[in-house]
Amino acid sequence: MNKEIIVSGIRPTGNLHLGNYLGAVTNFVKMQYEHNCFFFIADYHSLTTHPNPKDLHNNVRQVLVEYLACGLNPEACALYIQSDLPQIPELYMMLNMHAYMGELERVASFKDKVRNQPNNVNAGLLTYPVLMAADIIIHKASKVPVGKDQEQHLEMARTFGNRFNRIYEKEIFPEPFAFNYGKELVKIPGLQGGGKMSKSDGDGNVINLIDSPELIRKKLSRAVTDTGPNEMNTKPSDAVQNLFDLMKIVSGEDKLLHYQNLYSNCAIRYGDFKKDLAEDMVSFLTPIREKIAEIDANHQLLKQVVQIGKEKASESANKTLKECREAIGFKPF
């Protein structure tokens, strides 16, 4: 298989939930063995919202611990903290010199921010896509695993890279494109009957990887269902279908079939069904929760992981930056 250079950022916010794990992180885990992957914890990016200095480090640490527990392997990929690479802001600064106010002001995510947080429209927000471009092209990435909402940012990364190449008449940056892992995007449903599992619908809608067995049982006992099937209607509601979908993932096809049959025969008891699902959810997540606790307690390991990541990513970033500095005309005396 053709090995791609893949770059992806990880936001240092909150704990991972089952949706993040199965929808995103498991793909990263596979990708790291198939491609040349750079995964970074995007703490420079988080500065636009002025995080509390006391929280920033803990948040970075927590995502690092959880990604490692999910299977990211610092030997297989470059897993690093963005702020460990001063090369990134240097490239960001160079790219900023050729980024135009007009094109930055037209970016959809910037316009959203201006609308939603008019009291904090800082220059960092305006140039956010430039920093994203620097993150990506500093490793000469060919692919970036992004959703539809990030397509405009990726387009800008191509624009800034191409512009730099053109202005300095060097072929330094290849064009990065979206990377889709597999054909189908997995969608993990939430517990509140709505759409996908997401923190924006409250903690009761998500199962976090660190949730205790008691909390998982509590959340599932409160999961939304309906009044149950009857002879006239044996098609599950969206809420119940969501729970079936979760069961398929954590319990397997056989048990799902068992409850689907009970449902079709109007014999399902939601209390039992949810209890059974909760136990399987607990079994499914226990190894990860234990791994999180184990890694969390191993400060030495985290220190090593961060150091290895920094070295790997710096090696790649330094090469690119050297080319950029030469292209621009910086020369050693």
Q: Please count the residues of this chain forming the interface with ligand AMP, following the rule CB under 6 A.
A: 12
> Contact between 187 and ligand AMP (CB under 6 A)?
yes
Pick the closer one to ligand AMP by CB: 39 or 164.
39
Ranges within 4-23 binding ligand AMP (CB under 6 A): 11, 19-20, 23
Please identify which residue in 6, 24, 88, 94 interacts with ligand AMP, judged by CB under 6 A: 24
- Catalytic residue, candidates 199, 275, 291, 312: 199
Please identify which residue in 26, 198, 237, 314 interacts with ligand AMP, judged by CB under 6 A: 198
**Helix 238-250, helix 253-264: angle, nearest 10:** 150
Measured distance CA(160)–CA(175) in Å, rounded: 10
- Catalytic residue, candidates 3, 170, 187, 196: 196
Tokens describing residue 3: 């090995």
Q: How far is the CB of 188 from ligand AMP (least distance, A)?
A: 4
Bin 130: left if φ > 0, else alpha if -120 < ψ < 50, else beta: alpha
Angle 282-200-256 (CA atoms, 0-180°, nearest 5)?
A: 35
3-state DSSP assignment of residue 116: helix
275: annotated active-site residue: no
Pick the closer one to ligand AMP by CB: 95 or 132.
132
Measured distance CA(66)–CA(55) in Å, rounded: 16
- Concatenate the DSSP letters of all residues of 164-175 into one string: HHHHHT----PP
Please identify which residue in 131, 197, 256, 324 interacts with ligand AMP, judged by CB under 6 A: 197
196: annotated active-site residue: yes
199: annotated active-site residue: yes
Rg, the chain, Cα only: 23
Catalytic machinery residues: 113, 196, 199
The residues of the shown chain that bind ligand AMP, judged by CB under 6 A, are 11, 19-20, 23-24, 147, 186-188, 196-198
